[in-house]
Structure formats: structure tokens, C-alpha cells
Structure 1
Amino acid sequence: MSKQKIFNRGNVILTNLSNGYFGVAVVLSEREKTSDYFAKCHIAITPLLSEKEIKFEDIDLRY
């Protein structure tokens, strides 16, 4: 079916939860659309929450 993915495993997503609150999520897995299923992904929401906008350079991605 579709080969286009919105997210890939390991992507870091910066969120704007509500006006004035920002967070970080990580894509754990993804699956392409098939004839039987819609495309989907599993996303882990981190406990990082900030009233200051989070930018990628603010995050230490070393592990």
C-alpha cells in the first residue's frame, strides 16, 4: 500500500500541549498501511514538561 511514513522509529517530536506548555515524545515503532490495517505508530510521552519552548538543541540525545 502506501510507502509514505509520517513518523519513523526513533523520531523525537516536540509538542505544544497547550498554550504555554511544551513537551517531548519519541516514536517507538511504526507500521505502514496495509489492505487490512491503517498505518499506526506507538509514541512514548516523556515526563519532560516546560513552560519555555523546547528546541532540539536543548535536548541531549546521547544514550
Structure 2
Amino acid sequence: PLQEGLLFHALFDEQGTDVYIEQMSLTLEGQLDAVALRASWQALLDRHASLRAGFRQLPGVDE
């Protein structure tokens, strides 16, 4: 049901801003450990399925 709601809102107003997109910008100081950053981001995605949700509407498919 949650994914159906996300899809409904994505299709309801195709010209409007997607209400479920959120962006954040951070400024990091000092050395960046790219391996640790990538691993922590992957762990976050692995744990929270809603961060992996996405929808494509295929041509000729109404449902």
C-alpha cells in the first residue's frame, strides 16, 4: 500500500515537483575516506527499502 501511494503521487501530477524527493548538501572538512563513505551509504540503502524505491511506467502498460 505504501508503494501504491508513492506511485499515485508520482503519476497524479506529472508536471509538478515530486513530493517524495529530498536533497541535502553537506560540506565535509578534512580527509575523505571514500571507501568508508561508500560502505556506510550502502549499509543505509541495504537497511531501508524505501530509499531504494523507484517507479518506471512502461510504454503500453496501464497498471
Q: TM-score, normalised by structure 2?
A: 0.25
Q: TM-score, normalised by structure 1?
A: 0.25
Q: Which has the higher strand share?
A: 1
